[in-house]
A and B are shown apart, each in its own frame.
Chain A
Amino acid sequence: MVESIMFSLLETKLHRPSCPTKQVSRPQIIHCLNEGLASKRGITLISAPAGFGKTNCASEWVNTIDLPVTWLSLDPTDDDPGRFFTYFIAALQEINEAVGQEIASVLRAGHLPPEEILLTTLVNDIQRLETRFLLVLDDFHVIQDQIILRIMDRLLDNFPQPLHLVLISREEPPLSLARLRANDQLTEIRAGDLRFNESEAGSFLNEVMGLALSQKDIAALEARTEGWIVGLHLAGLSIRGRADPSVFISSLSGSHRFILTYLTEEVLNRQTEDIQEFLLQTSILERLCGDLCNAVTGRKDSHALLERLYNDNLFLVALDEEGRWYRYHQLFSDLLRERQKNESVVLHQRASHWYAAEGMISEAIQHALAAADYATAIHLIDSHAMDMLMQWHVKTVDGWMRAIPPEWIAHSPRANLAFAWLHLSRRNSEQAMPYLKRSGELFADPHSIENDPSLEAKWLAIQAMLLTAQGNADESLRLCTRALEIAPLEDEQTRSMIYTGLANIYQLKNDYDHAVGAFQTVIQLGQATGNTVSELLGISGLALLAIQHGQYHFAFEFASRGIDRIERSGSLPAVSMAVYGELAVILYQWHQLEQAHDNFQRSIQISTLSGYSDAELFYAVILSRLFQIRGDLDAAAQEIQKAVVLMQVEAPAVVREEVIAQQIRIYLIQGRLAEAEGLLKSQEGSRGEGYSFFRLEPGQGLSTPIDVLNIAALRILLDRARVTGSTEELKQGLEIANHLIAGALQYNYTTFAMEAILVRAQMHATLGDDQASLADIIQALELGQPEGFISIFVEEGSWMAVVLKHLLDQKPPRTIRLDYIKQILGAFPTHRPHEAELGSQHPMSEPLTEREVDVLRLIADGMKYEEIARKLFISLNTVRSHVKAIYGKLGVDNRTKAIEMARVMRIL
């Protein structure tokens, strides 16, 4: 029932108003509109004050044309970007379901995509359509939101060919129309075009309204109303049934507004008392249906009455084909409301209850606020504000909050908590604090009006989350435990919130089992309440935790389940990007690179649509590794450079460290030790001068996230020892590595431990301790084998391939399966130049100069010597001498070999 009513209400917004069975035809206007369409102008503007028949005119026109038409009737609540674009896309999907599908999924999940993404996606989607179509936005004057207007303005700049946009507005839309007008891209119908002339007024009064007025009376009425259609309509209704219309007409004088008020009174007074009461009582409603009118008026025959009023042409507009929903003509309802306003409180309350019972919360809250029934409004806001925020109706929720008087907020813990949530949902904890504090004071007051255990539990859970963010796990755990004690068992939403808090606390305390248990409860509660976002947050948290602890199969099971859930839900909450990203990480580690790549692409796509850069950033890190293990070092370097640029905007600390660690790795492979060292040192703001390792005191656990920069620092030590031949520093590094590995293994951070072990193996080898090195490789294989780790070995380069091949030849311990080693070996790129090969080929006696590298790059780009000379502003002879020097230093005798050797030596 609820869904069906809500759906039918949405349908009314997309319903093209049907033309009255009898109406005055406007051939000149239709001709003008058709001409605009034929001359390929993109936009039609129908702009005139209320009551000029704009909608009827547009409706008549679109009925005559042979193109697909979609219609969206806007109202003031649509002046909210999330809501507006949800309906805008729904209207476009009436033409083709594929338009804006991805954007709609993101909007459904509660995010407004970045303006650029929203615009380009919509323009591209529309551009793909083969047939030209009309989109009519009726009552566009209600749109004043700057975000919406900015996007619409940019749509005009990037206008997609298949679209013809029709804007119906009471005032000039604040869009860049002057330019369009100057370029003859705009068709305009304005008040002057819409006014009825005497002949049209005659047709309207005598033919449409069924009167029999003389030409003189018609002329008088036309003059009095200045062809204003709503005035003529009211006059016609007032005249209907009068014995001598001329007397009435001659009595009309004064301004438009006066005539309008006067005529409305006349029209009302000519109705029975019963009808008058119905009209006045229901005038408080934006839209009317039989059930709603029954609830508001206490009648039982509202549906039949609405039908009668519609047939009597009493300013009732049908909003659907079925005759279920109607609205009053705006001017008529305004005048009715003016008479009704002092007696409307009870009516608004009844409307609020009806809408709440039908699940249309937005309308229920608006009527509660109109009735100054703040208790009901706060209760509804508290219960549903988060859902509304999740649909990105931020402006709407803000508007509600502002409508509640401060004295009410001061005494309501529920309102305070709702405000705190509102601020926290925008990551604004400072602004949330006073509301949380006030809630606490009210909970402590025994006379408080809302001593609700659910509310208090929610308050405790919020406090606990803030404490966890500050690293205070013990106090946070105490508050969550208390919250669980008082939260009613049936309040699954609050309990889910508490368990999410608990999972974070256990993670902070390195308590893997309890963290897993808490996440599993969050998932179950999300499933029980049908809350997809909550379920996915649990799944994503659990999968990430399992990945960190090397439980890849367990993580895979949950990430796959999460993706199945996303696909079934039809929405794309931002957390989806994490689930796709986690699956990609698992697949990457299993060396299923194509599938990993696909899932990362999906993750980044959702990230872009949702306006977050996290996934894109993390994606660049893994993609860099992916290119690295494929042996494409240039691409690996490019990817990580992308991440560095993205990181300058905003990046969570964990991702930042991943980016830096990977960039250091790339530098080291490129032989740029000094740059790697400089980069690491630059990350040392809080650690004093130079890099200092994260140290574990005896008995101290590693905190999450584990600092991957420690491993990057070990890699630098290793490279430095290889370059300088000095092993003293490396021996110290070995101790640190032991410490890190012990700490990571103690808390089962397997992935981190394995990488550190593989670096330690290389440190041992550099120090000449091949036995210890082999022992490390074996330990890493034993750790990686149960969960199928592959890429982590390949990342270590050709040295690892040589060692594993050697191990295979020597028969490894029985704990390691031969096929596992073979599988890893099979994953190494076959064309990858081994460091050993480099050495055997041509150790360059003298490095290339900068200019020689420039020349070499241009040769590799396929340029001829003459072109290189022009490009570098040098003579042809100088180019030739550079080339000769390059060949000599590289030990080659032609261009192809030079390029090949330069690539092997990683000069290019």
Chain B
Amino acid sequence: MDERLVYQIEIQGLVDEKELNANSPLLLKVVQAKAESTLLSLRTDQSGLIGLLRHLHTRGYMLISLQIEKKTVL
């Protein structure tokens, strides 16, 4: 049973996808990159999301928003 969802995370500032994924526990895709914020997309479950948010926080990224993009068909 796949419980993963596609989440969209917005973080402050312009971030490079390669730099973001270096040492990341989960693969992040840059959906939209602007000077003021970068919108990222990832597919994971609750444990993955919590671990990723902690990872971003430890790396000093400022989280602006988090939302579910779409529920994966189970």
Q: Which residues of A contact B (CB under 8 A)?
A: 47-49, 141, 144, 146, 153, 169-179, 181-182, 190-193, 195
Contacts and interface: CB of A to CB of B under 8 A. Distances in A.
28 contacts: A47-B47, A47-B51, A169-B51, A170-B50, A171-B48, A171-B51, A172-B25, A172-B44, A172-B47, A172-B48, A172-B50, A172-B52, A174-B25, A174-B51, A174-B58, A175-B23, A175-B25, A176-B23, A177-B25, A178-B21, A178-B25, A179-B21, A181-B26, A191-B46, A191-B47, A192-B3, A192-B45, A193-B1
Contacts of A172: 25-26, 44, 47-52, 55
A194 B2 CA distance: 11
Contact of A178 (B4, B24, B45, B47): B24
B47 A174 contact: no
Contacts of A169: 47, 51
Contact of B47 (A146, A182, A190, A195): A190
B26 A191 contact: no
A144 B1 CA distance: 29
Contacts of A153: 23
A694 B46 CA distance: 71
Contact of A182 (B27, B48, B55): B27
Nearest to B28: A178
A193 B24 CA distance: 23
A676 B39 CA distance: 62
Contacts of B24: 176-178
Contacts of B48: 47, 171-172, 190
Nearest to A195: B1
B3 A174 contact: no
B54 to A, nearest CB: 6
Nearest to A153: B23
A152 to B, nearest CB: 11
A179 B20 CA distance: 12
Nearest to B21: A178
Contact of B27 (A141, A144, A181): A181
Given A171-B54, A172-B52, A176-B24, 13 more contacts: A48-B47, A141-B51, A169-B47, A172-B26, A172-B44, A172-B48, A172-B55, A173-B51, A174-B25, A178-B26, A190-B3, A190-B47, A192-B4
Nearest to B56: A174
Given A174-B54, A190-B3, A49 B27 contact: no
A177 B22 CA distance: 10
Contacts of A175: 23, 25
Contacts of A146: 58
Contacts of B55: 172, 174
Nearest to B58: A174
Contacts of B54: 144, 171, 174
Nearest to B22: A176
A47 B26 CA distance: 13
**Most chain A CB within a 10 A radius of its CB, from B23, B49, B54, B55:** B23
Contacts of B1: 192-193, 195
Closest 10 pairs (CB-CB, A-B): A172-B51, A192-B3, A171-B51, A192-B1, A174-B55, A171-B50, A178-B27, A176-B23, A47-B47, A172-B25
Contacts of A174: 25, 51, 54-55, 58
Among A175, A179, A190, chain B packs the most CB atoms within 10 A around the CB of A190
B50 to A, nearest CB: 4
A28 to B, nearest CB: 11
A144 B25 CA distance: 14
Nearest to B51: A172
A49 B22 CA distance: 26
B60 to A, nearest CB: 12
A222 to B, nearest CB: 13
B22 to A, nearest CB: 8
Contacts of A141: 51
A192 B43 CA distance: 14
A179 B21 CA distance: 8
Nearest to B55: A174
A153 B3 CA distance: 27
B25 A176 contact: yes
Interface in B1-46: 1-4, 21-28, 44-46
A173 B25 CA distance: 7
Contacts of A144: 54, 58
Contacts of A173: 25, 51
A195 B1 CA distance: 9
A195 B45 CA distance: 13
A855 B39 CA distance: 62
A537 B45 CA distance: 55
Which of A49, A178, A181, A195 is packed against the most chain B CB atoms within 10 Å? Answer: A178
A190 B23 CA distance: 21
Contacts of B58: 144, 146, 174
A584 B22 CA distance: 46
A171 B44 CA distance: 11
B4 to A, nearest CB: 8
Contacts of B21: 178-179
Nearest to B1: A192
A446 B2 CA distance: 71
Nearest to A150: B23
